[in-house]
């Protein structure tokens, strides 16, 4: 069993419990359920920098990244830095996140918020909407083509943007459909945890131009972004780079300023 299989098995148990605790009818009554969402895809299209900055306390590959930064400060800092969007990890067991982090981020900024989660059921998409997300992540490696279709169409009906993540050509081919807004290429091999920007370069020509291209993982310097922009990438998800500093917002601001030079 690789790490992804483990996460999905645990997630399945967790979602079952959550559904018993909070029924869908209750999620739909959330004050945030009817808020107007902000499109990350549109923001990325019109941006020259395209940074999606992440709030992440730890990860299976790096263990603890930063337990000291609170979401409120990070969200405020990212907004001030001028990022295009913020990714909030809501998985507790492997990443130390929670849906409360999403709520706090929503209360602290007006950025498009991505719920970074291992989505395996429609319930989690309704949760994302109820807790203030604007975008959901779907991971092709853990979903069938039929699930991607159902989940992405549900998200669109709730006015949520959809970022679909792929790792290879096979995942990309099964995933391309009109109900997606952004296609994210994860440069990290989930089985070995090795990172290579060549994955983004190789897959870029196979992604139709109707989708906003996003590169994820292993982007820790300006050079990586400059290297990927000619391949049509408009979005760059940066996780650990800002979070491992004392002040995530400030390091994002310095990074973006350098990128603009």
Which residues touch 37 (CB under 8 Å, ≥6 apart)? Answer: 112, 134, 159, 160, 161
Catalytic residue among 11, 43, 116, 213: 116
Asked if residues 54 and 66 have their Cβ atoms less than 8 Å apart, the reply is no
Phi, psi of 161 (to 5 degrees): -75, 155
Quick one: the chain helix, strand, coil %, rounded to 5?
A: 45, 20, 35
Task: Confirm whether 42 is a catalytic residue.
Answer: no
Task: Confirm whether 127 is a catalytic residue.
Answer: no
Task: Confirm whether 217 is a catalytic residue.
Answer: yes
What is the C-alpha separation between 261 and 154, in angstroms, rounded? 40
Catalytic residue among 11, 43, 56, 213: 56
Catalytic residue among 175, 186, 187, 241: 186
Task: Confirm whether 93 is a catalytic residue.
Answer: no
Rounded to 5°, angle at Cα 242 from 236 and 246:
170
Within the chain, how many helices (H) and strands (E) appear? 12, 10
What is the C-alpha separation between 167 and 96, in angstroms, rounded? 24
β partners of residue 58: 64
Task: Confirm whether 240 is a catalytic residue.
Answer: no
Catalytic residue among 79, 117, 127, 165: 165
| Residue 65, CA distances (Å) to 117, 120, 143, 193, 238 in order | 18, 26, 28, 16, 13
Catalytic residue among 117, 216, 240, 253: 216
Task: Confirm whether 186 is a catalytic residue.
Answer: yes
Task: Confirm whether 194 is a catalytic residue.
Answer: no
Which residues are known to be catalytic? 54, 56, 116, 165, 186, 216-217
């Amino acid at each position: 069993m690789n790490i992804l299989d483990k996460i999905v098995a645990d997630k399945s148990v967790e979602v079952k419990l959550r559904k018993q605790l909070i029924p869908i009818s209750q999620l739909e009554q959330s004050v945030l359920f009817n808020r107007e969402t902000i499109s990350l895809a549109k923001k990325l299209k019109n941006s020259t920098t395209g940074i999606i900055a992440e709030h992440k306390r730890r990860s299976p590959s790096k263990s603890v990244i930063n337990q000291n930064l609170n979401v409120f400060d990070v969200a405020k800092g990212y907004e001030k830095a001028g990022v295009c969007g913020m990714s909030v990890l809501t998985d507790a067991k492997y990443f130390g996140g929670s849906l409360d982090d999403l709520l706090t981020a929503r209360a602290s900024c007006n950025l498009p918020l991505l719920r970074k989660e291992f989505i395996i059921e429609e319930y989690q998409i309704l949760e994302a909407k109820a807790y203030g997300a604007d975008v959901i992540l779907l991971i092709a490696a853990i979903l069938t083509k039929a699930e991607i279709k159902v989940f992405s169409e549900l998200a669109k009906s709730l006015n949520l943007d959809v970022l679909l993540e792929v790792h290879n050509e096979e995942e990309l081919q099964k995933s391309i459909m009109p109900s997606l807004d952004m296609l994210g290429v994860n440069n990290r091999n989930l089985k070995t945890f090795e990172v290579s920007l060549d994955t983004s370069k190789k897959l870029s020509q196979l992604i139709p131009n109707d989708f906003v291209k996003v590169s994820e993982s292993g982007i820790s310097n300006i050079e990586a972004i400059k290297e990927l922009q000619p391949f049509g990438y408009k979005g760059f998800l940066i996780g650990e780079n800002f979070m491992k500093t004392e002040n995530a917002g400030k390091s994002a601001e310095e990074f973006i300023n350098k990128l603009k030079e």
